[in-house]
Structure 1
């Protein structure tokens, strides 16, 4: 890492989360001669950069890293907000809230909208769930989606059968299967949640962060450089082509620019750069969700439960996949794997307590959007965002149906903890999608094409959950990394062809 910027490179990547790291990895593998500069607005928390915070040794060190991820007004050492807060403003370690503009009068807004600003982005803090999209979650115009998902699993080091052999995992899965499997296709039946984790020889879990996505091939690439604490201010566009970026007041020229700066800041940077296709910032999808908790019925309390950041290997993490008939994504997880505090610290052993979370596919509307000011700026000097977001009648019906589904799961598993499932505040999913959505044609309803290149701006690519165009209800990271793989391959093939053409011209002149 360095603060001395080059005058020019082959590829600029903006943002160091899982998708930005995927671009760097694929380019390092497929076009190793290409020079790559990756710019990240936040600090590097770890060595190697981008490591998952749960892999940091010691709780105090983890908390310090989370605090450094919380933007210009960190809150970890203060009093965190509660989910019952009347303002529904949820403070979670490692993230920072949009300070204002999160709810327009008369709208639901996204009061819980949050971001992470650090090398690795939200990928340094995520839960690692990597389910595959199914049925209506899939992009039908991508015939090679399954192969791209395979490649995303390679980059994220996904284990499809994590926590195998945990004492209660078969029991939980069996009870859920009895409740939900009838009539489902084999790949849509209850199953273990694929997780981006692996076990060390000593048995400890290692969580995938962008450091693993980068991999040794990127870290050892002499043509790749990561620039932390280097916020990009503009993408430079000339004659309909991206030609570089402005960072810290300096121009860095490039053949290709990839913006992977999350679902709020990617469209923000494009807007600031004068790249404003009709769909920019629109079709915002937050995944409405409801959560609950149960104590497993007819099992003994676990005697060897430990506490801390690591998942306890008792009941594991189960998955009730989305289907068109039941358009919900269900997660049933060991309590301490949940990012949501579902029970008090006074509860007995969490070895017998599981949290349930049901995510709904949003009723996608162009009116659900992030708007940007032309005359006001945020704390980072970028166009100030404001959220326009409303749950439709269809969304509310979906949430009511999800409530019935989560109660069905709870009855199958055990005894309720609490009287009713909890409806989380809009924005709580952290799975924001759609604001630079992909589409098969430039018809005004998408920002980029199937290879993630922005319509009308050659050489400018976008990446992240924001590229996903479908009402996806499952955890989106695996899908967004898969889409990034396709974009990175497209750039790599062009670089290789350009290099070959240059070599041929040079040979002709020799």
Structure 2
């Protein structure tokens, strides 16, 4: 017998923060709606969707990360020791790389394009940074954007004061501000990084994953069910509207149809367009305007500070709270976003020839906004299959002269920031391989009108396919340098409210009508 229902009101594909946001808003605003959420990967934490950094036992944490690495688990490109080196293809723990098709002849490609396959998606492995977009990063045709971002903060549990007690936090921020703030307005000055993190009563930090977005309202919703190890192979389309999903049970290999009033595809910016393509839903803009954030990194040792007492150093894999996380916001004049954090908090190893005294060495990262191009895209090959049996991906991606100029400016800027903070480590900053940010966007982009250059409307419903919504970073239509998760969750809130408001207007699934 199938473990899946015959029909539901809403079928959600993907359990990352945006899929979780749809489940949360629908549970709050349409509590009678029957919701099924399908995730290709396994459950690796308790509660489901929790950040693996919250797993205190290092061996159990490593096991959860390995189980998130899907077909890449055990690959030489995953979890290699030592600092990142030029030209090296390496995935972060909990992720795996696109095996081929990541760089085509004559193009830059995305050599380290990566995925995770687990309940919670990439939110089980992220840094939790939730800055707000500014300037041209903002979506100008959404008048309610700020209110939606407020809702995103609520769902993700965003705070700005988690590291106020860390001894070097204020020092790092003051040194950065002295180098950056002149001429900037208040919102663009150096400040605390908004983080999806809270503190337990015992003082330990808890990092938000999809579990926080779900919240008790979803976990206690009798009409909500999460199905892990379940690959949605296509959206069912009848009379040009979405009527459900075809899902393959990865435990048995059997395929089943689940009918639905509404389908939300919230896989990620590469796999969401893949599902639409496999379903025969192929608008001109599908997969187009693919963009990543080129990333320049450097490290510096703080001047004139004493190392923390040994009893203040956190256990392996956890965070030693010494210098926290600071934010240098994006501006249109300086089109990159700065994230400055102590090195042992960074997911990217930067220095291996220098012992890391927790908190005394800070990692600096500048993320660059992409010069958006129609030709930058993910395309799919119907007669080739990936490890899940889905149409194979080919990534077309090239840096423009504008992109190279921005990268040159970022390299110069990060050197100035490193000198402002302390003593730079190494002769020069390092440009990460393209794809390293994991912030892929644009492939199912939102538009104000169906002009052939967008995939969905301002409520995230796919143009000309009633009942089909898309979610995730791929929906963001602007070139951003800031971490995109807060923005994509905000857009998911808007889409979920539309479904909650109009759910009765969508035809009931066949199973209900019968």
Do these two structures clear the TM 0.5 threshold for a shared fold by scoring above it?
A: yes
Structure 2 distance, partners of 1:75, 1:364, is: 35
Query: What is the aligned counterpart of 1:312 among 314, 320, 326?
Result: 320
Provide TM-score, normalisation by structure 1. Answer: 0.95
Residues 76-475 of structure 1 mapped to structure 2, 5 A cutoff = 80=80, 84=84, 87-248=87-248, 249-303=255-309, 304-344=312-352, 346-475=354-483
How big is the shift at 1:75?
2.4
Query: For each residue in 1:100-137, what CA deviation from the matched residue of structure 2 results, as whole angstroms up to 9, or x when unmatched?
Result: 10000111101111000011110111110010111110
CA contact (8 A) 1:81 1:89 kept: no
- How many Å apart are 1:379 and its aligned residue? 1.3
Structure 2 unpaired stretches of 5+:
249-254, 508-514
With 165-174 and 284-293 compared, the bigger mean Cα shift is at 165-174
Contact (CA 8 Å) 1:288, 1:360: kept in 2 or not? yes
After superposition, the CA RMSD in angstroms is 1.6
Q: Indicate conservation of the 8 Å contact 1:53/1:125, yes or no.
A: yes
Q: CA contact under 8 A between 1:76 and 1:93: conserved in structure 2?
A: no
SS in 2 for 1:294: strand
Contact 1:188–1:320 at 8 Å: present in 2 too? yes
Q: Structure 1: which 5+ residue stretches go unaligned?
A: 500-510
Q: Which moved more, 1:77-86 or 1:119-128?
A: 77-86
Q: Is the 8 A contact 1:83 1:89 kept in 2?
A: no
User: Match of 2:122, SS?
Assistant: helix
For residues 394 and 80 of structure 1, do their structure 2 counterparts lie closer, same or farther at Cα, with a shift above 3 Å needed? same
* 1:311 CA drift (Å): 2.3
Do residues 34 (structure 1) and 7 (structure 2) align? no
| d(CA) in 2 for partners of 1:260, 1:348 | 38
- Is the 8 Å Cα contact of residues 66 and 76 (structure 1) preserved in structure 2? no
Q: What is the CA distance between 1:345 and its match in structure 2?
A: 6.8
Q: Secondary structure at the match of 2:159?
A: coil
Secondary structure of the equivalent of 2:269? helix
Query: SS of the counterpart of 2:338?
Result: strand
Query: TM-score scaled to structure 2, two decimals?
Result: 0.94
Distance 1:79 1:323 in 2: 34
Task: Return the alpha-carbon distance in structure 1 between the equivalents of residues 405 and 506 of structure 2.
Answer: 53
TM-fit CA distance, 1:380: 0.8
Larger CA deviation: 340-349 vs 83-92: 83-92
Q: Is contact 1:63-1:76 (8 Å) kept?
A: no
Shift of 1:86: 6.1
What is the total number of aligned residue pairs between the two structures?
498
Question: What residue is the counterpart of 1:483 in the other structure?
Answer: 491
Question: What residue number does 1:506 align with?
Answer: none
The alpha-carbon distance between structure 1 residues 258 and 403, as it changes in their structure 2 partners (threshold 3 A), is same
